């Protein structure tokens, strides 16, 4: 560790600035020494410990500060080298904290308060406005939504209200009360979503009036009591029933493949289930209850008998088109606002997340063995016309684990899934499906689904033909279902068996059969968090890294303390969060050098940042490479990954730190970002921004074709327009193996023009086509018929010394037809 302290006060915000420290993987002996330093009594060391506050939840936030689409500071992100900062929220047992990690690498404290336990908090982004819809809280933004144990009124039950505070003025601008406890908060530029048990309430971002609510959510045992996924426009939640008339095409495909470990674990569970059933039968006969039965088990079995709830069902609604009031998916309701409705798992859903574009959805169940990746293809009429493609099954392992966080990379080629065990699993995927390989993941840019060679050679048509003949999905993994109805989740869809039969021959419609094949992907990297005691320590960096390091599990108490947050780390559970971002470890490794603009673009994959409940933020560098055991490296070679930690930030708060509360100065990063985004929103809506000298119309805001500009401006505008004047051929002659050299024999002999040709002709002396064979003849000798083309001779090129007589003896034809 450096001699100077990594912390210093910030001149801009008044908070604390933490410099990154270089991080390296510890060996086995170093891990033992670290453990001994932690457990040895502090009296022997002679130095008092540094007390740290306890973190109960962590979260990476998306707000105006890192909004690349609406913050004009990041519009020229590729030319200026400017990158959005990472925004991090830490929830303590007493209060919360907000950190910003810019591209410079120095973490900056933006907000810190101690006002009791906080279950959930969100920094609300500036809403989307228009000429007909204005923001009622524009002068108060940015806003912070907090769910505390004690609300603003002081009389409401714990965690039953959402208080909205202005970070500009420090006052509370809105308080939303509920009768039941709140478990989580989600927000985007359109709505604020409050998640309760088996219920979801959505509020408009401009007025914070109730927009719609859902009461048909399937409960989950945890850590997310009611898992949802909120994208830029769509909202996905776990439905408690499967309604056939609204069911979309596709959905989950059966995961029937099992390893030896899974078979042994399944057999043990079967034996345990059998013994439990025998005990229940004896109990019913004797009329007594077993001593080990709990009230929750009895209540669960009674609810199962009287309520036909179906686990694993996902419903996606459009927050813009859904009707106000209650959103009810039933046989009598219409499908307005319902995007998709499909089965995703056989067990209850534990966690969900959309990718940045909102077209991919990752779902996990309570077992945590497999994670499903779906592609959502909507239809403007109804959800039953939509299609849900099950692209990937991400196989984690055979032991059970609860998922708490899912994050996508910006190009949607990597997914990291974190469990309560403290492990983050890194999976490679493609936004369009297919097996990840060297061609798809060794390039810094996203490549097309088919390479130029594969498309020109006609391999795409061959794959579609084979898939259609096999009837649905043709999974390369034996044991998986080969059709979308192979899973017990799928019933017979009477209304969809004859779904648009007149258009089934259209291969360009992705909502029609055949559905894409399912791909099973294993994690390329498993990054584990240190399972140390998590108590007082003098170290500023992380303890252990990697999967093979020496680790100590946190001691479990006989009676754990009541949970403040569903993601609280008790026993062997660790709350972690992960996000992808540009590298910020240059300062920790080369503190005396200046950062180059292209230094963050030297890696194929962005760095992975993982924050744990110990307050250590670690940057891991991911380096994918071809499989080392592959005999030959090609485009289809599988991948392997090497990970190593590069930098760490000690962000955990100590009791000696001062609070950092609003009102903030005008140069505060959160306030500057809110002003920039609001100004951009006014320009898009054609309204007058606050402080603007005059009105700004759409004609002045955008360079339209009808505007009056000079000739020079028109030339500059036209130089930035991509014009396509014609459509190129489907297959160019030089793009594939399409040339076949064949010999034309002298007249009177039989010649096969092409191996795939069905017409045989012969040319006589008069150069008139004549039939060669009479198939009605009795003495037809098939052995004398030359079916396969003979080997061609070298083609005579200009200037070659080949005799003219030889060239006249036999001519050569080029067959450019594809095979």
Report the side by side order of strands in the sheet with 118-124: 118-124, 143-148, 161-166, 172-177
DSSP 8-state symbol, 75 = T
Between CA 544 and CA 534 the distance in angstroms is 12
Secondary structure of residue 501 in the 3-state scheme:
helix
pLDDT band at 132 (very low <50, low <70, confident <90, very high): confident
Question: Considering only 16-30, 64-78, 387-401, 563-577, which range has the smallest mean pLDDT?
Answer: 563-577
Does pLDDT of 676 surpass 80? yes
DSSP 8-state symbol, 399 = S
Does pLDDT of 30 surpass 70? no
Specify burial of residue 792 (Cβ count, 10 A radius: 0-12, 13-18, 19+): middle
Note the pTM of the prediction, 2 decimals: 0.73
Q: First-to-last CA distance in the chain?
A: 65
Between CA 607 and CA 141 the distance in angstroms is 31
**Mean per-residue pLDDT, 507-521:** 78
**Mean per-residue pLDDT, 398-426:** 94
Question: Considering only 28-37, 499-508, 685-694, 772-781, which range has the smallest mean pLDDT?
Answer: 499-508
Partners of 162 in the beta sheet? 176
DSSP 8-state symbol, 712 = H
CA distances from 59 to 40, 56, 120, 610 (A): 33, 11, 10, 10
Please give the pLDDT value at position 330: 87
Average pLDDT of every residue of the chain: 74
Question: Considering only 106-115, 185-194, 281-290, which range has the smallest mean pLDDT?
Answer: 281-290
pLDDT band at 51 (very low <50, low <70, confident <90, very high): confident
Does pLDDT of 163 surpass 50? yes
pLDDT band at 367 (very low <50, low <70, confident <90, very high): very high
Q: Is 270:406 a contact under the CB 8 Å cutoff?
A: no
Between CA 346 and CA 292 the distance in angstroms is 27
Question: Considering only 86-95, 100-109, 291-300, 457-466, which range has the smallest mean pLDDT?
Answer: 291-300
- Got the DSSP string for 561-605? PPPSSTT---TT----EEEEE----HHHH-TTSPPPTTGGGSSSS
pLDDT band at 725 (very low <50, low <70, confident <90, very high): low
pLDDT band at 306 (very low <50, low <70, confident <90, very high): very low
What is the per-residue pLDDT across 624-669, written as a single tens digit (0 to 9) for each?
999 999 999 999 999 999 999 999 999 999 999 999 999 999 899 9
Q: Is 402:368 a contact under the CB 8 Å cutoff?
A: yes
- Got the DSSP string for 746-811? PTTS-B-S-TT----EEE-TT--EEE---TT-TT--STTS--SPPPPPPPP-TT----HHHHHH-E
Residue with tokens 């603009």: 597
Residue with tokens 């060794």: 442
Report the 10 Å Cβ neighbour count for 463.
16
């Amino acid at each position: 560790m450096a001699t100077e302290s990594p912390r210093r006060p910030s001149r801009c915000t008044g908070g604390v600035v933490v410099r990154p420290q270089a991080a390296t993987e510890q060996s086995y002996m170093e891990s033992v020494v670290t453990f001994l330093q932690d457990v040895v009594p502090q009296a022997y060391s002679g130095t008092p410990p540094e007390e740290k506050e306890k973190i109960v939840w962590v979260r990476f936030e998306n707000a105006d500060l890192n909004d690349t689409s609406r913050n004009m500071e990041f519009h020229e992100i590729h030319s200026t080298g400017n990158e959005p900062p990472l925004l991090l929220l830490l929830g303590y047992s007493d209060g919360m904290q907000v950190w910003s990690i810019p591209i410079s690498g120095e973490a900056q404290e933006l907000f810190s308060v101690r006002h009791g336990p906080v279950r959930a908090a969100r920094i609300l982004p500036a809403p989307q406005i228009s000429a007909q819809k204005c923001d009622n809280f524009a002068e108060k933004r940015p806003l912070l939504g907090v769910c505390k144990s004690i609300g603003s009124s002081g009389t409401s039950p714990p965690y039953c209200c959402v208080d909205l505070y202005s970070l500009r003025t420090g006052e509370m601008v809105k308080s939303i009360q509920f009768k039941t406890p709140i478990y989580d908060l989600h927000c985007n530029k359109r709505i604020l979503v409050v998640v309760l048990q088996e219920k979801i309430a959505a509020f408009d971002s401009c007025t914070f009036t109730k927009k719609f609510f859902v009461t048909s959510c399937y409960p989950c045992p945890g850590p997310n009591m009611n898992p949802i996924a909120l994208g830029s426009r769509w909202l996905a939640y776990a439905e408690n029933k499967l309604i056939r008339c609204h069911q979309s095409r596709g959905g989950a495909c059966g995961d029937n493949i099992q390893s030896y470990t899974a078979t042994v674990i399944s057999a043990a569970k079967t034996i345990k289930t059998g013994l439990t059933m025998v005990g229940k039968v004896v109990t019913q006969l004797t009329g007594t209850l077993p001593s080990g039965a709990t009230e929750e088990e009895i209540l669960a079995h009674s609810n199962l008998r009287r309520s036909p709830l179906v686990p694993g069902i996902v419903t996606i609604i459009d927050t813009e088109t859904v009707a106000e009031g209650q959103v009810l998916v039933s046989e009598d309701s219409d499908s307005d606002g319902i995007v998709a409705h499909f089965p995703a798992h056989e067990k209850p859903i534990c966690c969900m997340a959309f990718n940045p574009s909102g077209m991919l959805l990752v779902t996990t169940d309570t077992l945590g063995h497999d994670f499903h990746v779906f592609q959502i293809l909507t239809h403007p009429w109804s959800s039953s016309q939509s299609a849900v493609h099950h692209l990937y099954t991400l196989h984690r392992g055979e032991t059970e684990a609860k998922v708490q966080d899912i994050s996508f990379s910006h190009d949607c080629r990597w997914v990291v899934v974190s469990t309560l065990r403290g492990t983050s699993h890194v999976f490679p995927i493609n936004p369009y499906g297919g097996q990840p390989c060297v061609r798809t993941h060794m390039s810094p840019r996203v490549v097309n689904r088919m390479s130029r060679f594969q498309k020109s050679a006609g391999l795409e048509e061959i794959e579609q033909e084979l898939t259609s003949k096999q009837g649905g999905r043709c999974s390369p993994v034996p044991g998986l279902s080969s059709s979308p109805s192979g899973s017990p989740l799928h019933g017979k869809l009477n209304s969809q068996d004859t779904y648009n039969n007149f258009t089934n021959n259209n291969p360009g419609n992705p909502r029609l059969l055949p559905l894409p094949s399912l791909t099973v992907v294993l994690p390329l990297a498993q990054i584990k968090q240190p399972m140390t005691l998590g108590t007082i320590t003098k170290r500023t960096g992380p303890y252990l890294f990697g999967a093979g390091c020496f680790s100590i599990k946190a001691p479990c108490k006989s009676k754990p303390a009541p949970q403040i947050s569903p993601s609280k780390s008790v026993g062997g559970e660790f709350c972690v969060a992960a996000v992808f971002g540009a590298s910020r470890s240059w300062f920790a490794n080369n503190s005396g050098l200046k950062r180059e603009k292209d230094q963050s673009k030297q890696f194929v994959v962005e760095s992975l940042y993982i924050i744990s409940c110990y307050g250590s933020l670690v940057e891991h560098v991911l380096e994918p490479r071809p499989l080392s055991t592959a005999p030959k490296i090609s485009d289809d070679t599988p991948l392997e990954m090497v990970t190593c930690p590069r930098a760490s930030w000690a962000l955990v708060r100590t009791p000696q730190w001062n609070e950092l509360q609003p009102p903030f100065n005008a140069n505060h990063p959160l306030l500057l970002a809110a002003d920039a985004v609001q100004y951009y929103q006014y320009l898009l809506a054609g309204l007058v921004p606050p402080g603007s000298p005059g009105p700004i119309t759409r004609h002045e805001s955008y360079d339209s074709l009808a505007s009056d500009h000079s000739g020079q401006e028109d030339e500059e505008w036209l130089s930035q327009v991509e014009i396509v004047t014609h459509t190129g051929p489907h297959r160019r002659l030089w793009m594939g193996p399409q040339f076949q050299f064949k010999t034309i024999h002298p007249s009177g002999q039989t010649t096969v023009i092409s191996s795939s040709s069905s017409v045989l002709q012969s040319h006589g002396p008069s150069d008139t086509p004549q039939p060669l064979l009479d198939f009605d003849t009795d003495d037809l000798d098939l052995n004398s018929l030359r079916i396969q083309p003979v080997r061609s001779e070298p083609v005579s090129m200009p200037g070659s010394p080949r005799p003219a007589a030889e060239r006249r003896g036999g001519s050569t034809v080029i067959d450019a037809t594809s095979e």
